[in-house]
Amino acid sequence: MNDFYSEVEAALNVLRRGGVILYPTDTIWGLGCDATNEEAVKKIYDIKQRDDSKSLIILVAEERDILQYVAAPDLAVFEFLAEQTRPTTVIFDQAVNLPDNLIAEDGSIAIRIAKDDFCRHIIKRLRQPIVSTSANISGQPSPRFFDEISNEIKQAVDHIVQWRQEDKTPAQPSQIVRWKDDGTPEYIRK
């Protein structure tokens, strides 16, 4: 099995070239790319056979990263996130500095601050957020473990990360909230 740092390097090489990776996240296995690269984002929609009107989640490494991709976020969201015990994705209004095909039709973007070391290393070294979407064809069940990912997905990506493939720790998708104008969360998925 490859070591952590060589896998980070291999993933970065693919992401910098506009490729798509299959990688472990702080929730379930995901498809990822440089979230600022419109062509790479399109590849993910193609792999998932998903309409680009259904937006994707992006991962950032730090709270301050959100400020680069959301116009004037409500700072109360950071207190809310600090209280959460499980991975939480927040849908923010007024996305900025991201490709049109990544931003939802209503101008929003879903962002999660990654807690996983592997994801955080990639994001920090790439100096860009990365897309995170379940490693499945749209409409099919999300794979909980690497060995549940279909061959169709594995063959469609540019790189399969060799890190944590044997991990059978129970995983679940993140909870998703939309941050409302009144400074409160509306739970979309608990």
Q: What is the pLDDT of residue 2?
A: 62
CB 133 within 8 A of CB 46: no
The four Cα atoms 17, 92, 89, 165 give a dihedral, to 10 degrees, of -10
Structural domains in the chain, CATH included, are 4-189 (3.90.870.10)
Pick 166 or 12 by higher pLDDT: 12
Q: What is the pLDDT of residue 169?
A: 85
Q: What is the pLDDT of residue 52?
A: 74
Identify the sign of the CA torsion 34, 63, 97, 91: positive
The pTM is what? 0.94
Tens digit of pLDDT for each residue in 14-56? 999 999 999 999 889 999 999 999 999 999 999 999 887 778 9
Tens digit of pLDDT for each residue in 77-132? 999 999 998 899 999 999 999 999 999 999 999 999 999 999 999 999 999 999 99
Going by pLDDT thresholds of 50, 70 and 90, the confidence category of residue 173 is confident
Q: Which amino acid makes up residue 116? A: D
pLDDT for residue 168 is more than 90: no
